[in-house]
């Protein structure tokens, strides 16, 4: 594993910033880029919290991976974290900041390792950096609505059932396994963590097919199926994630 240094968003060179932007696009299916929450709030996340965006850089100045995070205020039991997961975390963090509400929880939004550096253990280092961020700012909690790596292979399966899958006597999904090995506790499934709605034309463009009947449709890379109501000219994708907690 290469010797790394760590930068925040404000420290990135133009080349590193461009690599960061492209890595986000490459990491997710097309539907994620259609998120109204991302389109509405992401610029403010980076503007308000540049020190909460953490980047691992190798000795040659190349971007290895990064973790994006946002702080917010949470005054209920951790088991009550919302079903709206990722979308809620973004909106809560931005709203709290704009209203001057002090944060006591830092939420992880994503951890991404650049493609040619996958499988080398760097994700564990980025989780460790999030733990350090929590301690640096003296937050009480670190929670992350995670997006399991292999769930897109089982879009018809509820996340609650997917969690039970095992391989060789351990949790099937590698991203869930990684968090457990790093000390996380699984709190619960957040059943509507990212929400997407659109008319039939919107979904036809993403599915690259003509929709001829109501029902469920599978979109490449999506964790769950899309529910289409042809008569009402609507479709909805509710992505399930899993809340994990590091204390």
pLDDT in tens, 96-148: 999 999 999 999 999 999 999 999 999 999 999 999 999 999 999 999 999 99
Please count the other Cβ atoms lying within 10 Å of the Cβ belonging to residue 78.
16
What's the average model confidence in pLDDT over 184-193? 98
User: What pLDDT does 133 receive?
Assistant: 98
Q: How far apart are CA 84 and CA 190, in angstroms?
A: 6
CA angle 105, 110, 114 (to 5 degrees): 145
Q: Scanning the structure block, which residue is given the tokens 């490459």?
A: 26
Q: 46-58: per-residue pLDDT in tens?
A: 999 999 999 999 9
Handedness of CA 88, 100, 246, 131 (dihedral sign): positive
Q: Please give the mean pLDDT across all residues of the chain.
A: 97
The tokens describing 100, both together, are 């001057």
The tokens describing 3, both together, are 């010797």
Residue 193 pLDDT exceeds 90: yes
What's the average model confidence in pLDDT over 202-222? 97
What's the average model confidence in pLDDT over 55-83? 97
Q: How far apart are CA 163 and CA 143, in angstroms?
A: 18
Residue 242 pLDDT exceeds 80: yes
Residue 232 pLDDT exceeds 90: yes
User: What pLDDT does 3 receive?
Assistant: 86
Residue 1 pLDDT exceeds 70: no
Q: pTM, whole model, 2 decimals?
A: 0.95
Q: How far apart are CA 210 and CA 167, in angstroms?
A: 37
Non-local (6+) Cβ contacts of 49 within 8 A are 69, 70, 71, 93, 97
User: What pLDDT does 2 receive?
Assistant: 63
DSSP per-residue letters across 10-72: GG--HHHHHHHHHHHHHHS-GGGGG-HHHHHHHHHHHHH-GGGEEEEEETTS-EEEEEEEEEE
Under DSSP, the state recorded for 235 is E
């Amino acid at each position: 594993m290469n010797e790394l240094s760590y930068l925040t968003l404000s420290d990135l060179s133009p080349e590193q910033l461009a690599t960061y932007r492209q890595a986000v696009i490459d990491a997710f299916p097309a539907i994620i880029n259609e998120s109204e929450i991302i389109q509405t709030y992401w610029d403010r996340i980076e503007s308000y919290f540049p020190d909460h965006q953490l980047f691992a850089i190798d000795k040659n100045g190349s971007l290895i991976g990064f973790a994006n995070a946002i702080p917010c205020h949470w005054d209920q039991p951790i088991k009550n974290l919302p079903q709206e997961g990722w979308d809620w975390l973004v909106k809560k963090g931005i709203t709290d900041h704009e209203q001057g509400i002090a944060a006591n929880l830092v939420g992880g939004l994503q951890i991404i390792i650049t493609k040619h550096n996958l499988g080398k253990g760097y994700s564990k280092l980025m989780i460790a950096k999030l733990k350090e961020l929590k301690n640096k700012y003296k937050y009480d909690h670190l929670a992350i609505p995670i997006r399991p790596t292999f769930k897109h292979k089982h879009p018809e399966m509820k996340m609650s059932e997917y969690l039970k899958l095992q391989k060789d006597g351990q949790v099937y999904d590698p991203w869930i396994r990684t968090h457990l090995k790093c000390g996380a506790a699984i709190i619960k499934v957040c059943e509507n963590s990212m929400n997407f709605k659109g008319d039939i034309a919107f979904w036809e463009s993403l599915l690259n097919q003509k929709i001829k009947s109501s029902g469920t449709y599978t979109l490449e890379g999506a964790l769950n199926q899309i529910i289409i109501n042809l008569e009402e000219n609507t479709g909805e994708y509710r992505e399930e994630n899993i809340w994990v907690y590091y204390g």
